[in-house]
Chains A and B, each alone.
Chain A
Amino acid sequence: MSLEELYRQVILDHYRNPRRSGSIEQADAHAEGHNPLCGDEVTIEVMIDDGVIVDAAVRGRGCSISQASASMMADAIVDKSLESVATLTRQVKSMLDIEDGNPGLDPERPGSVLGDLEALAGVKQFPVRIKCADLPWTTLEEALATTD
């Protein structure tokens, strides 16, 4: 599967069939993020048990990139420790060129390291859209910062 196909199929799939869409009552951490320039909105709620994210829910509205990124993120963070979620966030942000560092992807086998999330690497080609892909991750960081 080429990167372009991965980008197209995976992002469209998550946009049209968002994972873990909805809300969690009495979440342990939550945050709302929005991008005032383009109007993207994402709300994230997570349940944390003994340093592990045991449930996550996202909802929002906006472009395919912001909403697909939120869907993939919700899927990726459940059953992960807060430390591994922090590491994953660094990987995604470096993949998007927002932060320095090497995301550690295998160019020969797209999707083999971060799964669906690697589709977001294609967003780099569209610099004005990087903020859309980043919105859920920054919002997640804000949510988790409230639990410290």
Chain B
Amino acid sequence: MNPTTVRADFPILSRRVNGKQLVYLDSAATTQKPIQVIDAMNDFYRRHNASVHRGAYTLAEEATALYEGARSKIASFLDADSPREVVLTRGTTNAINTVAYGWGLYNLKPGDRILLTKMEHHANVVPWQLICRHTGAELEYLPLTDDFLVDTSNLEAVIDNRTRVVAFSGMSNVLGTIGPHAELIQAARSVGAMTIIDGAQLIPHAPTTVHDLGADFVVFSAHKMLGPTGIGAMWGRMELLEAMEPAEGGGSMIRDVQLDNSTWADVPYKFEAGTPPIAEAIGFGAAVDYLTKLGMDNVRAHEIEITRYALDRLGEIPDLTVYGPDDTSMRGGAVSFTLADIHPHDLATILDQQGVAIRAGHHCARPLMRVLDVPATARASFYVYNTLEEVDALIAALHDARRIFDVA
């Protein structure tokens, strides 16, 4: 996989920003979209647009086939046993809420425990806090080690029969840390706890199958893997999906509606209330096709190469602190850092003047910022279209920031 060839498929990457060539290093927030995804969505609106699952006319049949085709592509990408195990959601946040309100609300009681880690995105914290309010369940957090890994040394003492849910990030959006999947899932299973992996970062960046992961639910978003915003997926074990209640009611998700009561449609439709984002689902399918063609092993190999190079070059800059593991086998391509006393927002503004787009802030992970004892970090993150030359541009811009801020 050659990122220079890949770049030709991404129209936005030829843009100039503030008179400089755009260097887009914020793919952990959202990735850019290849022309194949843009064309697939465009083609849907130009030629096939109709609502799905109900029309007795040609366009509706085509729209349904394209929408369900996208579901099948996502299922194959995950090596799921059946496309029915893939629920299309509005994204990772919506998927976690679907599990929290569809499973947690009905299965948790006072004294039950939900185990998270201290590196979770707010999307995997706040829904569980809300469920705790409803059910009286309590939250627990696995701490992190000094080298930014999830600390499982005390796991046996933390997980016990009260633990009903273990929910954790597959790959941290701040630290890059890959979660200790096998260990956590094995421990959860030994006490019969339900497991959910927040795969928003993991699924786009590493070759994985739902069989390898072994969790009960794996959730992720299209827009962090070359697809559009507003669509994501919730893969779940069929027996759990069958037993679970819908978190949202409305059209499309019912078998029958009486005045006082209703019955639900089959999985996955009982979780897809209302008219779904059809063009977005089709774009999601096209994104999965694109990644499949690149090969997820190649995606991961490129990420390891560019992350290693970035960590080495960042290490050359005086007063720069990286927050995350140095071992690239334990991490993805989101690299958080601070530089001397320059606030991350100031850094982002200075870098933007050089066309370099990075994220600055708390990255929707305030509990983790408190662990790191920083109000915010700067974050550069990489994907299939980033080159080593772009890392060089980042480094040059950081030297520029040191000069502007008179860092001695």
Query: Within the complex, which residue of A12, A39, A40, A126 is in contact with B406, where a contact is CB–CB below 8 Å?
Result: A12
In the complex, A72 Cα to B342 Cα: how many Å? 19
Binds B, one of A19-27, A57-65, A91-99, A139-147: A57-65
User: Which residues of chain B from 356 to 396 have any CB-CB distance to chain A below 8 Å in the complex?
Assistant: 360-362, 375-376
Contact call B376/A39, Cβ cutoff below 8 A: yes
- Contacts A8-B404, A38-B345, A129-B345; is A62 near B361 (CB within 8 Å)? no
Query: Within the complex, which residue of B341, B344, B345, B375 is in contact with A132, where a contact is CB–CB below 8 Å?
Result: B345
Contact call B361/A37, Cβ cutoff below 8 A: yes
In the complex, A24 Cα to B341 Cα: how many Å? 26
- Give the residue among A37, A38, A128 with the most B Cβ atoms within 10 A: A38
In the complex, A40 Cα to B361 Cα: how many Å? 10
- Give the residue among B344, B345, B349, B404 with the most A Cβ atoms within 10 A: B345
User: Which residues of chain A from 36 to 57 have any CB-CB distance to chain B below 8 Å in the complex?
Assistant: 37-40
A57 → B minimal CB distance (Å): 21
Contact call A39/B362, Cβ cutoff below 8 A: yes
Q: Which residue of B lies closest to A123 (CB)?
A: B349
User: Interface residue tally of chain A, by bracket?
Assistant: 10 to 19
In the complex, A75 Cα to B195 Cα: how many Å? 55
A55 → B minimal CB distance (Å): 27
In the complex, A16 Cα to B341 Cα: how many Å? 9
Query: Within the complex, which residue of A8, A39, A65, A128 is in contact with B375, where a contact is CB–CB below 8 Å?
Result: A39
Query: Within the complex, which residue of A37, A39, A65 is in contact with B346, where a contact is CB–CB below 8 Å?
Result: A65
In the complex, A132 Cα to B349 Cα: how many Å? 12
In the complex, A16 Cα to B342 Cα: how many Å? 10
Contacts of B375 in A (CB 8 A): 39, 61-62
Q: For chains A and B in complex, what number of residue pairs have CB atoms within 8 angstroms?
A: 32
Does B45 sit at the interface, judged by CB under 8 A?
no
Contact call B405/A38, Cβ cutoff below 8 A: no
In the complex, A65 Cα to B406 Cα: how many Å? 16
- Contacts A37-B361, A39-B361, A129-B349; is A64 near B404 (CB within 8 Å)? no
Query: Within the complex, which residue of A8, A38, A65 is in contact with B360, where a contact is CB–CB below 8 Å?
Result: A38
Contacts of A64 in B (CB 8 A): 342-343, 346
Contact call A63/B404, Cβ cutoff below 8 A: no
In the complex, A126 Cα to B342 Cα: how many Å? 17
Contacts of B360 in A (CB 8 A): 38
The interface bits of chain A over 109-130 (1 if a CB of B lies within 8 angstroms of the residue's CB, else 0) are 0000000000000000010110
A108 → B minimal CB distance (Å): 26
The interface bits of chain B over 325-352 (1 if a CB of A lies within 8 angstroms of the residue's CB, else 0) are 0000000000000000111111001000
Contacts of A62 in B (CB 8 A): 343, 345, 375
Contacts of B345 in A (CB 8 A): 38, 40, 62-63, 65, 129, 132
B13 → A minimal CB distance (Å): 22
The interface bits of chain B over 284-295 (1 if a CB of A lies within 8 angstroms of the residue's CB, else 0) are 000000000000
Contacts of B405 in A (CB 8 A): 12
Contacts of A38 in B (CB 8 A): 345, 360-361, 376
In the complex, A39 Cα to B343 Cα: how many Å? 11
Contacts of A65 in B (CB 8 A): 345-346
Q: Which residue of B lies closest to A41 (CB)?
A: B375
Contact call B349/A126, Cβ cutoff below 8 A: yes
B370 → A minimal CB distance (Å): 12
A119 → B minimal CB distance (Å): 14
Contacts of B343 in A (CB 8 A): 62-64
In the complex, A118 Cα to B404 Cα: how many Å? 19
Contacts of A39 in B (CB 8 A): 361-362, 375-376
Q: Which residue of B lies closest to A126 (CB)?
A: B349
B155 → A minimal CB distance (Å): 32
B298 → A minimal CB distance (Å): 35
- Give the residue among B343, B360, B362, B404 with the most A Cβ atoms within 10 A: B343
In the complex, A82 Cα to B313 Cα: how many Å? 53
* A–B pairs, 15, beta carbons within 8 Å: A8-B404, A12-B406, A37-B361, A38-B360, A38-B376, A39-B361, A39-B362, A39-B375, A40-B345, A61-B375, A62-B345, A63-B343, A126-B349, A129-B345, A129-B349
Residues of A within 8 A of B (CB): 8, 12, 16, 37-40, 61-65, 126, 128-129, 132
The 3 A-B pairs with the shortest beta carbon distances in the complex, nearest first, are: A63-B343, A63-B345, A64-B346
Known: A63-B343, A65-B345, A65-B346. 16 other contacts (CB 8 A): A8-B404, A12-B406, A16-B341, A37-B361, A39-B361, A39-B375, A39-B376, A40-B345, A61-B375, A62-B375, A63-B344, A63-B345, A64-B346, A126-B349, A128-B349, A129-B345
